[in-house]
Structure formats: structure tokens, C-alpha cells
Structure 1
Amino acid sequence: PFAAGGAADLFARSLANGLGAELGQQVVVETRAGAGGLTGVDVTAKSAPDGYTICLAGAAALSAIPFMTSKMPFDWQKDLALITLVVRVPEVLIVHPVLGVNTLADFLAYARARPGKINFGSAGAGSITHLAVELLKSAAGIDLVHVPYRGIGPAVADMLGGHIQVIVADVPFLLPHIRSGAFSALAVTSAARAPALPDVPSTAELGYAAVNSDNWYGLVAPAHTPANVLDALRTASLAVLTSAELKKQFDSQNALPSPSTPDEFAGFVRAEQAKWGPVVRATGVKLE
């Protein structure tokens, strides 16, 4: 349910190639972008439950957007069969060097002294990149101004130009800019450090464990897909996700393969909803 060329597309194609080999048939990736990932998931929910349509659903569509609209086109607990969590992607808080801060503590002190004077960019209102900063604002008691963009790429471009000063987004996407020195990485918004940024502390170790905004994707099918078909898809998916080849591909994107049982996946989604629901309500973000 995401545009071609992004991280989700890469994950989907890596998984599709592996599934094709495991199942002995071609698995075609079709992009159905739109509405923060809802469009593609909705197409899947309304497809024939025969195992031939599955979807790599993202964090926002299952755990955050349901709190932003009264017109949710599907109920994930009724209309989808969860197969497995696929991958988790750490996010990182970056700032423009013009702020002159090198640690999270320095940044928070700087922001508290300048309420409403610092701009942060996101991939759009209600995106995980938006809500992650709202989590930080709430936990740290700071006031930053949200500037939404149509995708994280334009936000990064504007930050390079000095028009905004803060972004939280996926490590793989921001890594080149961090390594070039264009931006300063202050904290990985996860429970642990990111392998690609071993010197950047996590928000958890800095005392802000609630600021955890890992992005993630999971494999789902239409509800009422026969149990034997789901079992076959799950077995094949787990074989791919635990393979050395896929681990190598995901490692190159600083992403963590995260195979799970359906019950573990469902519990994870509920925990994510418990985290994002209050944030969405507090910000008043609507997607109508």
C-alpha cells in the first residue's frame, strides 16, 4: 500500500522473491498507495479470501489512522487475517547544525527556552514521523511547530535548506545525511541503539522510554482465508524471514526481520494502538 521505490517497496520485493521460491510460484508486487497506506490494505480486506492477495501493511494504517477518522474502511480485527509481523525499522531524531546542540538534553533545554520557535517536519499530518515528535513533545514538555509535507523526502530537502530544524524518520533514509554531517543525530527513538548508529543513544537509555516510534510492517490477508492456506503462507514467510539472504538484505537497510505468530502480531498492534491513540487524540489530527 505504498509508493514504489521506498523502503516498504524494497521490503515487499525482498519478501515476494523469497515467498516465490518457497511456494514454487511467482509472487507479484502491486503498489496501491494512498491515504497513509489505507488504500492497499482496504483492497486486500475486500479481496477474495483465497490466499492470492496479501498485503504488507504499515504501522500507521493499523495502529494510528483508526483514531483519526470515523470512516475507517475496514476493521483489522474482523476484516483481516494476520500472518506475521515482517520487519521493524528504527527511527532517529535529527536536528539542523544551526541549533548548535549535540545531545538530546542540550536540544530539550534549547527548545524549552524557545517555545514555539523551532519547526519540525514530517511526512504528513498523522504520519508516524509526525506522531513520534508529538510523543517527544509530550514526554519532554516542549513546544515545537509542526510543518507537514507530502512525504519525508521534501521535508528533508527543506531541512537541508534550513527552513525547518527537526525531523524524526527512518534510520535508513536519514543515514546518508547523518554520515555526511548535514544533520546531527541526537537519539534513536527506540528501546535500543540502531546498529548503523552505534554511538547514538536510544531515547530509552536517556530516560524517555515512552518515546518509542519504531516503524514496522506486517503481512496480512483477507479474513476468512482458509486455515490451511494461512498456515502455508505463514510457514513460507517464516522460512524467508529467518533466512540468511533476507537478513542480509534487511541489514543493508538497517531493518530488523521480526517474524511472529498471529497472536503475537495482534498483541503488538493492540499495544501500538494503546500508544498512538492518546497521541492522536491529544493532537486532534483528523483524516477525513
Structure 2
Amino acid sequence: MIQRRQLLKTAGPAAAALLGATAWAQSAPVRILVGAPAGGSTDTLARTLATELGRLLGRTVVVENRPGAGGNIAADAVAKAAPDGNTLLMSFTSHAINASLYPSLPFDPIKDFTPLTCVATSPSVLVAHPSLLARDVRELIALAKAQPGKLNFAIGAVGSSLHLAGDAFKMQSGAFIVNIPYRGTAPALQDVLAGQVELMFAAVGNAQAQIRAGKLKALGVTSARRLPAFPDVPAIAEVLPGYESSAWFGLFGPGQMNADLARRISDAARQAIASPDVKRRLESEGAVPVGNSPEEFARFVQSEIPRWAKVVKFAGAKPE
């Protein structure tokens, strides 16, 4: 392994790509690194994909958790891995956010990765404790402007897509709502349920049961259009045109992967995403299956970095 990495460092891109294609024929398991703990959304989506992807590739595919630094630990490991298709990354929105959130990164989020496909997007929902007087987004904005600084957002993780969904909302609406940071989504959601904090942006999968039980009030969804699961809940964009803030989950390889090998893995991943079982399991997690081409995914990631940079600057967010 050490010799192979040294060769890749000294060889030119063409030689490295050829070596990567040759190594793909080996029987070592394909590892999907996940920069989040087991049981979270990214981990669940990776494991949902892994079984079907392995079947289609004729390889064993395993998921390995490398949590920490907002996904940067796993990303750095993949960026430095041999481009032989045996080490992949299941990343999430922070891959784009971290480019501006962190003052420096040990890798380039564009050049050091080969985009394979966007696996899914996950819109969130703006929820409130039932006692909040506002019945919808328009009334919330009016209430927040009438009482600036009185209302609070529970924030599960500073710099996360859910945190920045709230700051994008404030940036576009001009409302002043105070962020209350927590160490994790679960305690943040618990305090909203208890009425300790009025508001929160939550993943649909985490909040839908409480919404249906009447324990939370859904004010708006962050997708461009209303969600089939909540047809009566308006999209925030209906009040704030252009507002959209969905988390996304994508599959990457190391940079300079052989183009044919990258296409082979991408095609298998897209076929897996479109399979009825994987599609059903993704949707049960509140995710929207995507499965786009490497070229489409690459353009998307490139557009996400400047988009989130504006929100990070507005929020003044710093990594924890």
C-alpha cells in the first residue's frame, strides 16, 4: 500500500489513472468513508446505497465512519487515497460549506475529488412550538420584525446546513432571530418540543412524526416547491422568492480517477439509487433520490461553494 501511494505521488496523472484502473480488478472491499457518526442521515444513506451498489459492481462495499471536523476528516482521507476506486466518500452539504467556514482545509474540495453522483437531497422544515402565535412564514416574519431579538432558533450544529438554512432565512427576510446552539440535533429538537425555544429548521425525517402528532407546528419547507408528504405546508419560497435550502448527499472518489472507472462506479450508483428498494428506503428517511451524472454533480458542487459562502459571511459562522 505504501509503495502504491508513493508511486501515485511521483507518477503523472496518466500513469496514476492506469494504476487505478488496474487496482480495481483486485478483490479488496470498496470502502465508503462517511464523515459523520453511525446512525445519522449520511451514514444511513451510505449503508442504504452500499448493499445494492456492491451487488451491481460485483464487489463487497463497506461503510466506514470517520466523524469529526464537519466531515473534513473523512474527506481528507479520501483526498489522499489512491484513485483506484477502492476508497470513496459519501459526503454532504458541508463539503461545500466548509470551503468558506474553515479558514484553511488540508484539501481542495474541487480539485482533490472526483464527483460521481448526487445520491439524494433532503429538504428541511421550519417548525415551531405550537404556542407560537405565528401560523405561517409570513406571520413569523411580521412577528420577528415587531419583536426583534425575542424569538430564537435552536441550532443543532454550528455551520451545518440546518444552521445556515436559518441564517439564509434571516438574510432574505430581514428578520432578527437569535441562534441558540446545541451539541446535536436531538437536544435542540427536544427543547423546541418542550417550548424552551420557539423555532428550528429540522430535517423532515426527524420532525415528521411530531408534526403529525401536533407536537410541532410546520410553518414552511425549504424545498423550492411543496413536499408531497406535507401538501398543506407552503414552501418558504412562496413568501421569500428564490429561497431554497436542501441538504444534499453525494458520492465522490479521490481526484484524478480513471474516467472509465469513475463512470462505471457512477453508473452503478445511479442504477442503485433508481432501484425500487433503495428509492423507497431513501424516501422513508425524508430524502429525495437524485442520481445525476458526474458532470451534472460536478457543476452542482461548484455552484454550491459560492452560494453557501454568502450565507457563512452573513452569519459570521465559525467552526466549533
Q: TM-score, normalised by structure 1?
A: 0.96
Q: Distance in 1 between matches of 2:310 and 2:224?
A: 20
String of CA shifts for 1:224-274, please: whole Å, max 9, x gaps.
222222122112111111111211111212211111112211211122223
Q: Where in structure 2 are there 5+ consecutive unaligned residues?
A: 1-34
Alignment-derived partner of residue 100 in structure 1: 133
TM-superposed CA distance for 1:131, in Å, is: 0.7
Alignment-derived partner of residue 19 in structure 1: 53
TM-superposed CA distance for 1:7, in Å, is: 1.6
Contact 1:85/1:217, CA 8 A, preserved across alignment:
yes
Q: Distance in 1 between matches of 2:193 and 2:203?
A: 17
| Aligned-partner residue type, residue 124 of structure 2 | E
Q: Distance in 1 between matches of 2:239 and 2:275?
A: 35
Q: 1:81 aligns with which of 108, 111, 114?
A: 114
Matches within 5 A, 1:1-288: 1-60=35-94, 62-204=95-237, 206-287=238-319
Segments of 4+ in structure 1 off by > 4 A? none
SS for the counterpart of 1:99 is coil
- Once superposed, what is the RMSD of the aligned Cα atoms? 1.3
TM-superposed CA distance for 1:287, in Å, is: 2.3
| Aligned-partner residue type, residue 145 of structure 1 | V
TM-superposed CA distance for 1:166, in Å, is: 0.6
Percent of paired sites with the same residue: 39
| Aligned-partner residue type, residue 119 of structure 2 | V
Contact 2:110/2:302, CA 8 A, preserved across alignment:
no
Q: Distance in 2 between matches of 1:194 and 1:35?
A: 32
Higher relative contact order (CA 8 A, sep 6+): 1
TM-superposed CA distance for 1:40, in Å, is: 1.1
Contact 2:97/2:305, CA 8 A, preserved across alignment:
yes
* Higher alpha-carbon deviation: 14-23 or 160-169: 160-169
* Higher alpha-carbon deviation: 69-78 or 84-93: 69-78
Contact 1:44/1:54, CA 8 A, preserved across alignment:
yes
Contact 2:90/2:252, CA 8 A, preserved across alignment:
yes
Q: Distance in 1 between matches of 2:307 and 2:202?
A: 18
Q: Distance in 2 between matches of 1:230 and 1:200?
A: 40
